[in-house]
Amino acid sequence: MEILVCVKRVPDTAENEFELNSAGNDLDRDDLVYSVNEWDNYAVEEAIQIVDDKGGSVTVITVGDDESEEVLRREMAMGADNGILLTDDAFEGSDGMGIAAILKAEIEKGSYDLILTGAQADEGAGQVGGMLAAMLDLPYASLVNKIEVVDDKTLKVGREIEGGNQEMNEISLPAVLSIQTGINEPRYVGIRGIRKVAKVEIPEKSASDLGLDAGSIGEAGAKTKRVDYFVPDLGDGAEMLEGSTEEIIEKLIEKLKANGGL
Ligand SMILES: Cc1cc2nc3c(=O)[nH]c(=O)nc-3n(C[C@H](O)[C@H](O)[C@H](O)COP(=O)(O)OP(=O)(O)OC[C@H]3O[C@@H](n4cnc5c(N)ncnc54)[C@H](O)[C@@H]3O)c2cc1C
C-alpha cells in the first residue's frame, strides 16, 4: 500500500513559554523550539505499521520553510521511506484551504492508496484533512483511532464519537483519514536513526513546480483572516492552582472530591 502522511512543524508545547507577538495577532515565534505535530507522529507510526504488515511505502510531506525539512527527517528516521518538502515564499500566509490546495497539487502527481493527516495541528483548525479529501474527491473519515486493512481496496476504520463511544466503518480506497492520538504508541527515534537519514536527498517543490497560481495560495489567496489572538480573561469563579505538578494534581483531586466530582 502506498501511503502519504501530511506532517506539520509546530512549536513544541512542552519546550516553550508562549507569549503574544507585538501585533497581538499570533504567538511570538522568535526563538521557539519546534517539533513534529503530535497527531502527525501517530499517523506516521500507523502508516509504518501498515506497510510493515502489508508491504508498500510511506512518504511524508510538509508545506513549510527550509527548517521544516527537520520534521521530514525525523519521521524518516522513524521509518518513513521518502520525504517531500513543499516550499516557496508564495506559500507564506496560506490559510487551511491554501495548505490543502498546495498538498493536493503534489498528491495528484503521485499515486497513493491512503492519505493520512493528523486530526488537528497547532492552530487547532482540524480542517486540512477534510478539505484535502473534498478537493481530491476522495472518501474521508475523521478522528480515526483504529485501522484494519480488509484488502487492497477496503479498510475498516474506528472512530471516536461523543461520550467515549466507538463506531466502525468500512471505507473504500483511495481515501483520506485524519488520525486521532492514542491510535498506537509511536516508536522512539534514536540518534542513530536520525544520523542514518541525515544525508538522504529530500526533493523540494515550489509553486511553479506544482503549477500553482501564486494568487490562489499564500496571503493573496487566503479567504480566512486572523484578526485577533488573545488569552481570555479568567471568569469570576476561576481559581488557578499553584505548585509543582504533583501538588497541583493533589489539590485538584481534593477539590473534585469536595465538590462531588469524584
Ligand atoms: C490568514 C491566515 C494566515 C496564516 N499564515 C500562516 C503562515 O504564514 N505560516 C503558517 O505556518 N501558518 C499560517 N497560518 C496557519 C495555517 O493556515 C494553518 O497551519 C493551517 O490552516 C492548518 O491549520 P491547523 O494548523 O489548525 O491544521 P489542521 O487543519 O488542524 O491540521 C490537520 C492536519 O493537516 C495537516 N497539515 C496542516 N498543516 C500542514 C502543513 N503545513 N503541511 C503538511 N500538512 C499539514 C497535518 O496532517 C495536520 O495534522 C495562517 C492561517 C490564516 C487563517
Q: Which mutation among 39, 117, 128 tests ligand 1's pocket best, with the greatest number of atoms within 8 A of CB?
A: 128
State in Å: Cα 224 to ligand 1 middle. Answer: 12
> What residues does each domain of the chain span?
2-221
pLDDT (0 to 100) of residue 226: 84
Contact assessment for residue 139 and residue 155, using Cβ atoms and an 8 Å cutoff? no
Beta pairing, strands 82-86 & 57-63: parallel
Helical ranges in the chain per DSSP H? 38-54, 69-78, 96-107, 128-136, 191-197, 218-221, 245-258
pLDDT (0 to 100) of residue 164: 79
- Say whether 157 sits in a helix, a strand or coil: strand
* Alpha carbons within 13 A on the beta-carbon side of 77: 19
pLDDT (0 to 100) of residue 238: 78
Q: Is the CB of 122 under 6 A from ligand 1?
A: yes
Burial of 240 (0-12, 13-18, 19+ CB in 10 A): exposed
State in Å: Cα 258 to ligand 1 middle. Answer: 42
Right CATH number for 2-221 from 3.40.980.10, 3.40.50.720, 3.40.50.620, 3.10.150.10?
3.40.50.620
pLDDT (0 to 100) of residue 252: 93
CA–CA distance, 115 with 17 (Å, rounded to integer): 33
Tell me: cis bond preceding 174? Omega within 30 of 0 counts. yes
Contact assessment for residue 119 and residue 177, using Cβ atoms and an 8 Å cutoff? no
Nearest in space to 100 (alpha carbons), one of 69, 137, 154:
137
pLDDT (0 to 100) of residue 48: 98
Grid cell for residue 69: 525539512
pLDDT (0 to 100) of residue 133: 98
Ligand 1 atom, smallest distance to 39 CA: 49
Task: Say which DSSP state 67 is in.
Answer: G
* pTM for this prediction: 0.88
pLDDT (0 to 100) of residue 261: 75
Query: Which segments of the chain have a pLDDT < 50?
Result: none
Residue at grid coordinates 498506537: 184
Q: Which mutation among 65, 123, 131 tests ligand 1's pocket best, with the greatest number of atoms within 8 A of CB?
A: 123
Q: Which is it for the CA torsion 82, 9, 15, 200, positive or negative? A: positive
